[in-house]
Structure formats: structure tokens, C-alpha cells
Structure 1
Amino acid sequence: MAKIALITGATAGIGEACAHVFAREGYNLILTGRRRERLESLASAINNQYNVEVAIASFDVRNRQAVIDNLNNLPDQWKKVDVLINNAGLSQGLDPIQNGDASDWDTMIDTNIKGLLYASRVVSNWMIENGYGHIINIGSIAGKEVYPNGNVYCATKHAVDALNKGMRLDLLPHGIKVTAVHPGAVETEFSEVRFKGDKDRAKKVYEGFEPLVAQDVAETIWFAASRPAHVNINELTVMPTAQAGATSIFRKNL
């Protein structure tokens, strides 16, 4: 019987890349995200390319009841989840704390922390009942370092780092693996979302060096997920060669 991976935030970027990588490796997929049309398009592409089954569930991870209802309404055979990839996350704004937008703060806290908790609360209980499972939390170099004007986003990713460690301890008696993957600069929709659609400003983030792409992170996630049963990778930090820290990037010709 094929294994199952549940991926939150699967409509773009790292989540979408994970869907292709895990389908390539023979996993059936549960794909979740806010944009149903993108989920349907991705499911169709995967069905055409790989010999796997795909279920989709469209909801916003910030909505606790929607997370609970959509996941619990899946057929029982889809609750045999082997890998949960808590990928849904975002950044909003890049302002000093005194100028921060409270609605941006709420969006980041509700998505990056509470959304991860809501999905983990449901799926971890399935895994305990099943007697197996692996939760992979997508953090960030922002969860290891704080950079100017990153205040609340960095705080949410520091929370993910702490929650990852807490999950590892709490789920240890149940044999559930827990891993965090912390990427550095990855060229996805991330900066466009942060800058609220300003493509020119987003493009400047990656000027002068070669950033990671979503596939790089997805392959790292797959590496962690594919270790033998007795091996748990607690955390991995993956960076572009040109990036040594959150704000240490070597940019050529700039």
C-alpha cells in the first residue's frame, strides 16, 4: 500500500515542489491550500505525471474549525498519513516594530504558528493511533537569527523552532518522528507576498546571487523523510552557497 503525505500550503513554492517530489517517490498525496483552483490544477498535473492518488482540501489554516472539519471529513483510508509537511507560512511587511501593521502581525502569527498547531493537533493524533508518522515543520533561517525589520516574522519562525523541539519531546513515546527544515533565501512567491505584490521590490531581494529554488528545499525535505525508521533528523538548515547567515549574502556586481 502506498504511503501518504499531507502537505499544507501546497498551491505554490515549496509546498508545490514537495507534492511533485513525494509523488515521484510513490506517495499518495493530500494537498491543502486556500486557492482551490490551484489545488485542482496541481492535482491534475500530478495525476497525469505520476501513478499516485491525490486528495485535495481547500481551506485557510488560520481557521481552526475549517482545519478540523476538512481534515476529519477525509475518508478513513486517507487518515493513514505517514508524513505531514507543515509548509503553509508567509511574511507580511518589512517594517520596524514601531511602524508595524497589526493586521500583518495577526496574519503571520495566525498562519505560521496557529495554523501549524491546528494541523498538527489533528494529524498527530492520527499518527499516534496508526503507530507511525513523521511531522516535518518548515521553519526558516529567520527562526535561528533575527534581522532588522524582521521582528514579528522572525518571532513566528523562532516559535516554529521551539514547537518543533516540543513536538519531538511530546511525541517521542509514540515513535513519531519530528523534523524542522530551515531554509535561507528561496526564490518563490515569498517576497512578492511580503511586499504585497510589488514584483520589482521582490526581485531585488535575489539580485547578485543564486538563491535556492523550491525544488532544492523539497529534495532536502525528502532526504529527511526517507531516512531509515531508526533515524530521526531533528533539524536541517539549508542555504544558498552565497548566503552564510540571515543578512550575510555575497552579491556579485552590486
Structure 2
Amino acid sequence: MKVGERLMKLVSRHMTKEEGSDGQRFTYRKGSFAVTLWFEYPAKADGNGQKTDGCGTLRGIREAIQADIDLGELIYIMDESENELTVVDNTEDTDRAIRYVSHDKITPTWLEERIVTTYSAGWYDQAVDPCALAEYLSRTVDKHILQTLEYIVIVSADTECDWDELFPILEDRHGNSILEVCDLPYDGVGIHWAEYQTVVINLGNIIELSKELCADGFSDVATETNIGVITTVLHELFHMAQNDPYAPEELFQGLPVDPEDQAEAWARKTFEENGGYVLAK
């Protein structure tokens, strides 16, 4: 037997191997001595050509959270599984629950399940197609931005009627209605509920603004509404990333410092580079 083969045979007696969805872990243990090596699988491209890393990103977030816990930060892990991790952040006395999901779970189907359209909003001639919106976001938005998303809610101009419909649907981790503490955007086009990782779009107000823009006849309501919906959704999603304590700094590089200007610049740039159409007609 060659020396190398003999050495490998001796080492293998004390070596254990664990295999997960994102890599392999080898542990050599002899007596009180132990050493672990981790080999991460290379990133794979999803159906839209974006690179995914299985649970690698989730593991990195888990390690960052544990480091903050070790430093005494008011944060703790409430629940975790192979594909999800829920942390409670009380650093600002808000007891905010944030659920992180593995990036390979963020598919068009997963996103569509998080889009809630009220009955009234679905009756507009310029209604949003949830499937098209989900496909668009999956294709164009960095999954570090989407990793905490709970809901994208599309409401009409009749926010009082929509409030009644949404009250039993939108719940926090404790089963309480989010609308007990949050207001729908009755006089704006969108809002981000920072404590609940939820984006709300007022489609009725976007349509009315689009009609004003089309008064000179140089555009049409559907075109302007489509632009308004996409850029508003992107804008509010970026605010969600700004409020993610573990979002990578690379997301914000090259953008204005002011949070509002930053979100608008990123939304406009993303739309200009990718275009897109998300209306049902």
C-alpha cells in the first residue's frame, strides 16, 4: 500500500461526513482534538438565470444573528428550519418579527402567493395580474431584497371597503390583524409597513394620476398605470430592504444617501433596465 493511501485510510477512521442541500461537512475527531471542514456547493442558476445559493445565504444570516446575540443585542431566534429563519428584533423596543427565507424558495409561485388583491382593486380596467407581477419580480429583483417579504397588497381607492376585506387576512405572527396598528394608503400610491415586511399599493390612486398624465394625449392610461405600479412596488420593496438589518451593503452602493431618493433611484433604474408589463389587460 502506498504511503498516501495508507494515510487516507488512517484519517478516514476518524472522519465523519454530513451532507446537506447546500454543501458537505467533514469532521476529523481523535481524542480531544477535532477539526471541521465545510465545502459549499457552487451556486446554481434558477429558471430565470439568476444565481441561487440554496441555504447558503440563510446560513450566513444565521451566523450574523448569532454574532449579534453573543454581543448582547436584544434579538433572538424564534423559529428556524432548513429553509426559513424567524428572528425577533427588539433593539428598538418594537418586538419586530422578521422571517428570512432561503433564496431558492423565492420563486414566481412563492411570490404570487404573497400578493393580495382586494375585490375592488380587481375590477379596474387596469387591474394588476398577480402572476405577471410575480414573474417580473422574480426576474428583476435581487433576492436579498425579497428575502423578508410577507405581503404585497393591492388596494383600490375605496380603502374603507378594502379595510373590511383585509382585516381578517393580514395577520402578524401572533394572529393579530396588522390593520389594528397600520393604515391603508388612502391619499398616496404606496406604503411600506416596516414592522411587518409588507408593501401596500393603492392602484386606484395610481390610475387617477395616470389619467392626469394622459390628459395631453401623448400616452395612454394603461401604459402609465403599468409604469406606476411597477415603480411603486419596486420603490416600497427597496424600503423593505433598507429596514432589513442583515441586507448586504452592496445593495445600496452607488445610490443616493437619502432613503427616499435611494429607493426612487433604484426603482427607476430597475424599470429602465428591464421594462415589463404587469397589468391583466
The TM-score bracket by the shorter chain reads 0.3 to 0.5
More helix by share: 1
Higher relative contact order (CA 8 A, sep 6+): 1
Name the structure where strand makes up a greater proportion of residues.
2
